[in-house]
Amino acid sequence: MDISALPARERILHTAHDLFYADGIRATGIDRVIAESGVTKVTFYRHFPSKDDLVREFLDHRHARWMAWFVDALGRRGAHERAGDAGALLLLADVMAEWFADPVFRGCAFINAVAEVGGSVEGAAERAREHKREMVEVIAGLLPAESPSRMALAQAAALGVDGAIVKAQMGDAALAREAIDDLRRLLQALAAASHPAAPR
């Protein structure tokens, strides 16, 4: 994406997003963000008085961007039509496989952020929790609405997704495929639990 034509604030945010996600929040200094976004220090600090302010905006931006992709990726696989079906939950494995294959994949920005700055940047951990809460809500939409254990199963599936993300981040393409296989097995078990066999 060519960001050169964007307003200064958006250029800074897009640049920070890519650098924070690729290299880490602590490893990315403000001077580098300023240089790569092509703004002056005065302009930068007018929009973001501190690095903490930028980190919070980065997390908000990442949340909106990732959730839009997540919902779209599920939709491209027919999630809306298949919602509530026994196999709908398995779409999560296909969606994660798509993300893990992206050359810029560096794990979950929110898990990474909490590990890096969760205790030092006010609002970071809260944003991570909200991100995960919304992810669970989307996953719950794949499960039968009448299931009394719908939210518990969605929470379990989300935990499996997070585990797969961390495992994929730790290795190469082979480990990422292993993470997807593990996730698929978990999702199959959860799907079965959401559609108990009728009594005979």
**Helices 124-140 and 109-117 sit at what angle, rounded to 10 degrees?**
160
User: Looking at per-residue confidence, does 130 or 194 come out higher?
Assistant: 130
pLDDT tens, position by position, 33-77: 999 999 999 999 999 999 999 999 999 999 999 999 999 999 999
Burial of 95 (0-12, 13-18, 19+ CB in 10 A): buried
Residue 78 Rama label (left phi>0; alpha psi -120 to 50; beta): left
| pTM for the full predicted model | 0.93
Residue 26 and residue 117 in contact, taking contact as beta carbons nearer than 8 Å: yes
Task: Give me the helix-helix angle, 8-23 and 109-117, nearest 10°.
Answer: 80
Tell me the average pLDDT of the chain. 95
